[in-house]
Amino acid sequence: MVVTHLVSAVWAMLPAYVPNNVAVLAGGGRPIDGGRTWGGRRLLGDGKTWRGTAVGTLAGVLLAIALNAVNRRASDAIGVSLPEFPLRAGLALALGSMLGDIGASFLKRRTGRERGASLPGLDQLDFAAGALALARLVAPRWFVRTFTPPVLAVVIVLTPVLHVATNAIAYALGLKDEPW
């Protein structure tokens, strides 16, 4: 059932989606690269901070724990067996999404794009790719059980849509400097 896959995909990816948005709210302070440059350009740039990364990751882990707490009730209510998050899966999704986003900034700086520049495609999928890759690495059995081919397909289609929508909202609210 398409709806089942849709709901499972969103549920499974929430601990990966939320950290990026929390990082926007929590960002500031020391940049991870400490101002270092490579080839005349910043390694990552001022948009990747220790505080944003740490608070974002923590928020994703706490969300995974909260989702586990309401799993039974939510599953019963909608008639879908929603995925549960072992702690390391929640941590991998949250930290992986932050690392994917950081990796994209690294690539953007190497290709001469300044902080805030867009790189269509990469911007919308970097964090999902990082989250899935790290989850697959640290919780492989949970990963194949949770991210079945149809669920993965939904994630790939839905992630850019959700990302564009939430960033447009954050921009409209004045929380973000660019709408991407």
Residue 47 within binding range of ligand CTP, rule CB under 6 A? yes
Which residue in the block uniquely carries the two structure tokens 């001469």? Answer: 112
Regarding 23 and contact with ligand CTP (CB under 6 A), the answer is yes
Select from 9, 48, 59, 63 the one that contacts ligand CTP (CB under 6 A): 48
Report the distance separating Cα 43 and Cα 119, nearest Å: 17
Residue 58 near ligand CTP by CB under 6 A: no
Helix (H, G, I), strand (E, B) or coil at 64: helix
Answer yes or no whether residue 61 interacts with ligand CTP by CB under 6 A.
Answer: no
Q: 17: Cβ–Cβ under 8 A, 6 or more apart, which residues?
A: 97, 127, 159, 162, 166
The answer to whether 90 contacts ligand CTP (rule: CB under 6 A) is no
Site membership for ligand CTP, residue 18 (CB under 6 A): no
CA 62, CA 94: separation in Å to the nearest integer?
Answer: 10
Q: Which residue has the tokens 């079945």?
A: 148
The nearer residue to ligand CTP, 121 or 140, going by C-beta atoms, is 121
Among 4, 74, 88, 115, binds ligand CTP (CB under 6 A): 115
Cβ(23)–Cβ(55) below 8 Å: yes
Q: How far is Cα 94 from Cα 56, in angstroms, rounded to an integer?
A: 7
Q: Which stretch binds ligand CTP (CB under 6 A): 8-16, 80-88, 97-105, 130-138?
A: 97-105
Residue count, binding to ligand CTP (CB under 6 A)? 18
Q: Which residues bind ligand CTP (CB under 6 A)?
A: 23-24, 27, 45, 47-49, 52-53, 98, 101-102, 105, 108, 115-117, 176
